[in-house]
Structure 1
């Protein structure tokens, strides 16, 4: 199994930007959002189970899942939402684990937006390390309002729908605070990349990577 680092963070934390910076350093990123689409793609066992549970009315004309119809079906119905999650989430975890096991490179980053909400290490026991992109709630609120064009009340409800900041920090091995300019992230990501390369080499019984020019 490839040395695996989970990346997570709340809405508007900048997690996607951090994932892109790791990609720029040559690190493979397995994305839970992609996994959630793949496991219920047309013709998949996952989609067949969704249809068996909720009926063919959740399909669009092409035979794919009508996500708007599905959201409407489970909105305000906790039992239906849990049923849908019981179909999708185990398949997503398996998809991500398989992707991590076969990924190229010294280690793999697994992008899981709702890691704290989805059970953390209990649900993902194969993770070696968890990186949380952290941002103060007031900064998060401001970014959501600017990004989505919503008012403070709706921004707060979006934030409240996720795990709390403390819940995310409780599962973190590493915390990347992203309360400033995007440019400030780069040196922090580069430092984390060096750390993870070293940890991955150690876990594999290999010599630690040599420092970059000008380091150490």
Structure 2
């Protein structure tokens, strides 16, 4: 079974991903793939330079993520051009990694923009959304990353609204005020349900 895991920034999605891996899932992390293909020597670097020019590179030769983030937040067309380069490469690597799963192993695709990209609904069997209020998202990201509040709000505004994510979900974990033990209990319940379904 293929599970699409998504949630807004600061929702706790990565924590849930780790809990699923601890239970035996195969994780395919699209953010990690996106970072790796844009690092020095990565598969996307040449196309990025052709499209945006050498100014988007770090001195080491990888994509300057902060510079690119500023560009795509201020220019919708730049965002589409970036996605046109990255998404096919990410998709190919996702399938490559998923193919290495053991027979019967649940495959979890960690996809921050699952709802926005549209294509994922046809690729996964279930969608799990980790949800939290925008205020909680804001506080978590500031505490974790030290970003300015406006920078966090800019990211949230670029992501699908919580209502849209929940509407696309087969299951939702409302990660608001939960301790790790409570969160783990929710994950365990879904794990038991989905592993039984996968075994049929």
Specify the TM-score bucket, using the shorter chain as the normaliser.
0.7 to 0.9
Distance 1:42 1:146 in 2: 29
Partner of 1:46: 44
Distance 2:127 2:23 in 1: 18
The SS at the match of 1:5 is strand
Q: Is the 8 A contact 2:13 2:130 kept in 1?
A: yes
Tell me: CA distance 1:75–1:10, structure 2 relative to 1, closer, same or farther (3 Å): closer
In structure 2, the CA distance between the partners of 1:156 and 1:66, relative to structure 1 (3 Å rule), is: closer
- Structure whose CA Rg is larger: 1
Give the aligned partner of residue 180 of structure 2.
182
Q: Distance in 2 between matches of 1:6 and 1:40?
A: 23
Taking only aligned residues, the RMSD between alpha carbons, in angstroms, comes to 2.4
Q: Which has the higher helix share?
A: 2
Q: 1:125: how far off?
A: 1.8
Q: Is 1:23 aligned to 2:3, yes or no?
A: no
TM-score by length of 1: 0.80
1:133 equivalent in alignment to 2:124: no
1:117 is paired with a residue whose SS is helix
Number of equivalenced pairs: 198
Contact conserved, 1:106 with 1:201, CA < 8 A, in 2?
Answer: no
Give the unaligned 5+ runs of structure 2. none
> Could you state the TM-score of these two structures normalised by the residue count of structure 2?
0.85
Distance in 1 (alpha carbons) for counterparts of 2:191 and 2:42: 35
* Residues in 2 aligned to 1:163 and 1:146: alpha-carbon distance in whole angstroms: 23
